[in-house]
Every structure is written in C-alpha cells, then in structure tokens.
Amino acid sequence: MFEARLAQGSIFAKVIEGLRELVTEATWECSGNGITLQAMDSSHVALVSLVLRSDGFETYRCDRNMSLGISLTSMSKVLKMMGKDDTLTIRVNDDSDAIVLSMESQNQEEFAEYELRLMDLDSEHLGIPDTDYSCVVKMPSTKFSRICRDMAILGDSVTICSTKDGVKFGAKGDVGQGSIRLNQSTNVDKEEDAVSIELREAVALTFAVRYLNMFCKAAPLSNQVNLSMSEDTPLMCEFKVGDMGHIRFYLAPKIEDAEN
C-alpha cells in the first residue's frame, strides 16, 4: 500500500501543472525515500526529473516500491477540482489498478475522492549525468517567465550569455531582434528578487524558447529558478518544490548557425 498526505495539496497541483504541458503521461516511481519521476517530452527533445522526498509529506507510507503509470492530463483535471486550501491524500491500494486522490476541505465539511485508472507505460529510465556546470544563474522565476515569453515573440531561439557580472537573453526574428540584460544584484532587499551568478567560465548558449516556456509552467512552485549551464551541455533549469524536492528540466543547446 502507498499513501502520502500533503497538508498543502496545492503544492502537488502546481507540480502537475508544471509538468503536464511537457509530458502528458509519465511513470511515477514510489519508494520509501519518496516519489521520483523522469520523462522526456513527446518529441524527445527535453527531459524532466522530479523529486519529492518522503519527509516533505505530512504522512508517508510506501510498503514496497511501485511504478505508477499516470495520465498527467487526467490528474490535472482532477486536481483542478481541489479546493484552495484542501489537504490532499494520494493512495494506491495493494492489487489496485487505480490511484485515489482524496481532498478534504479545511473545515472538514467537504470531502472528495477521485480515482484515476493507472496506465501501462514503457518506462525508460534515463541516466542523467551529474554535471559540474560552468555557470549557475539564479533569478526570480517570474522574471525568467516574462523574459522567455517576450523572447518567443521575437523568434524561436533565445541565446543566453552569462558573464560574472550579468546575464543577457537575446533573440532575433522577423519582427526584429532584441535582448535583455540583468545585472547581478548588489543589494539584496528581498532574497526572492535577487539575481546571482556563480561563474567559473563565461557561457553563450542558444535554446529553443518554446521549451523554456514549457519549463516556466513550473514557475509558480518557487520564487527563484536556477539555470545551470556549460558549453555543449544541456541546460538544467531547476525549480525547488518547497523544501521537499525539485523539478529539473534539461534541454540541449542548439548548434550555433554560421550567422550567429
């Protein structure tokens, strides 16, 4: 039997919202340590890795390891029915082919329970090498979302150039070209507004902005996003999930064209 209870069910809903555009169905790996998920998007371009540690749940019980094939599309629909401050319990009974999501309103007067059929998915476990990145940019996730949205208006690709003083996002296309530069924050009024750069080596990498915009669906999970980069290595775009884990998105850089 598997049962995990989260007082703030909305966190889980945000996780699903953060994943579902990139990955419509995926296999969840449940063990005593927590829940993990790894998947590539349907065109096998981007990769996502989710970790939710068991100690982040209010209660957590996992008698044996389980692989659960789940439609994130359906799960998202069910989670939309959750009240704003509901407590969420996720349960899989032994020998059941369904996952049960229970939601309790804070005043205990409302109780909803939804059952989703589990799916048989070919689960590709993906080895993600631990990389020592040349550069890690930390910035407000809302700012990153806005920049990616804006760059998408200009073109399909965004080039991220990072030096020790700042980071520049640039795009060009039919409408024109443009770039936005953020300097590393000096006075950190609010931690969450800070832009900080850890840099061993300057980088300049180009990415398909469409995928970055999908990654940004996870932005409501965290005030800050971490962008870790090295030349010729996939970008890692990380959002923390409270203090219980993270979502990490990976995207290989485009090979630079002659004209860039």
Partner DNA sequence: TCCGTCGTCC
Partner DNA sequence: GGACGACGGA
Residue appearing with tokens 């990145």:
133
For the CB of residue 4, give the shortest distance to a copy of itself in the complex, in Å: 18
The rounded distance, in Å, linking the Cα atoms of 176 and 17 is 32
Query: Is 106 one of the binding residues for a copy of itself (CB under 8 A)?
Result: no
With respect to DNA, which residue has the nearer C-beta, 27 or 145? 145
- CA angle (126 as vertex; 65, 133 as ends), nearest 5: 120
| By the rule CB under 8 A, 185 interacts with a copy of itself | yes
Helix (H) or strand (E) holding 147: helix 141-154
71 binds, among a copy of itself, DNA, none (CB under 5 to 8 A by kind): a copy of itself
Mask: binding to DNA, 184-213, rule CB under 7 A, as x and -? -----------------------------x
Q: Smallest distance, Å, CB 55 to a copy of itself?
A: 29
For the chain, state the CA radius of gyration: 20
Q: Which of 67, 114, 121, 210 binds a copy of itself (CB under 8 A)?
A: 114
Does residue 248 belong to the site contacting DNA (CB under 7 A)?
no
Of 81 and 128, CB closest to a copy of itself? 81
Instruction: Tell me how far, at minimum, the Cβ of 71 lies from DNA, in Å.
Output: 11
End-to-end CA distance of the chain: 55
Angle, in degrees to the nearest 10, between helices 9-19 and 72-80: 140
Selection from 143, 84, 86 nearest residue 112 by Cα: 86
Residues forming the site for DNA (CB under 7 A): 20-21, 42, 73, 80, 149, 213
